[in-house]
Structure 1
Amino acid sequence: MMMDTVADFLSRIRNANLVYKEYVDAPYSKVNEAIARILKEEGFIKDYEIIEVPFERTKNPENKKKLIRVHLKYGPNRERVINEIKRISKPGRRVYVGVEDIPLVKAGLGVAILSTNKGIIPGYKARKLGVGGEVLCYVW
């Protein structure tokens, strides 16, 4: 049983990025989809899609599981667009910030992804909306 699906999702992206994979598949969740949406909006990935594949541990072909497929992005000379992706708030230690404490990642070159009462949004949008929340990860 997986305890931290967000950490698993970020680790899969990090590992695939290190070996220049074209895409990576991860178990689907609404939080993972929201993080992928933000990564696409910020230009860190090409695209993402939700796919359904047959569930291998059953004989019934009707049973399917959802996966999120993230298409990674690289620069012209195989430069990585995602230099680092780091999980901040973990199940053992949750990290919450107020609107005045939302961090700037790499002096604004990166993005902090927050879970707020307005949804999962980037740090600069949370500052603009005047809301704080749980810091999920940093990407730069």
Structure 2
Amino acid sequence: MVTDPIGDLLIRLKNGSQRRHETVTVPASKLKRAILEILKKEGYVETVEDATVEGHPALKVQLRYVGDGQPMITGLERVSKPGRRVYVGSKDIAKVRNGIGMSILSTSKGIMTDQESRRNKLGGEVLCSVW
């Protein structure tokens, strides 16, 4: 049993990109799909597809590499954890790596990036940072 499904997703993506795997399979959920769709939209992963593993729904993620096989995802960090939730207002959203990376937030209007959240003047729970 996984106590932190988002942390599990991030670690699978990080390990897969470090080992230069082409695809990574993760157990499916609506929240994970929303996070992966944002990563796809921002160019960190190629595709997100539905799959089935041993009769359970899963998501098959094709990782993206640039140049001579360098992974697009160089770092991931889980910010808000099950033991310590981190909430911020729209004016308090910090930039990741001076704007090179991005944060993913859970707001009242859904899952969105830090830029979208600032533009819509929405705060929320900071789920993770990607660079």
**When the two structures are superposed, what TM-score results if normalisation uses the length of structure 2?**
0.97
Distance in 2 separating the partners of 1:51 and 1:21 = 17
Matched, 1:51 2:51: yes
SS at match of 1:24: strand
Q: Corresponding residue for 1:4?
A: 4
**1:24-51 deviations in Å (ceiling 9; x for gaps):** 0010011100010000000001111111
Distance in 2 separating the partners of 1:44 and 1:80 = 9
Q: Corresponding residue for 1:71?
A: 62
Q: Corresponding residue for 2:116?
A: 125
1:108 positional shift? 1.2
Q: Corresponding residue for 2:105?
A: 114
Aligned residues: 131
SS at match of 1:77: coil
Distance in 2 separating the partners of 1:115 and 1:30 = 12
SS at match of 2:65: coil
Distance in 2 separating the partners of 1:131 and 1:50 = 30
Give aligned-pair identity as a percent: 43
Distance in 2 separating the partners of 1:105 and 1:95 = 15
- Rg (Cα) greater in structure: 1
CA RMSD, Structure 1 to Structure 2 (Å) = 0.8
1:80 positional shift? 1.6
Distance in 2 separating the partners of 1:48 and 1:108 = 25
Distance in 1 separating the partners of 2:34 and 2:94 = 20
**When the two structures are superposed, what TM-score results if normalisation uses the length of structure 1?**
0.91
SS at match of 1:17: helix
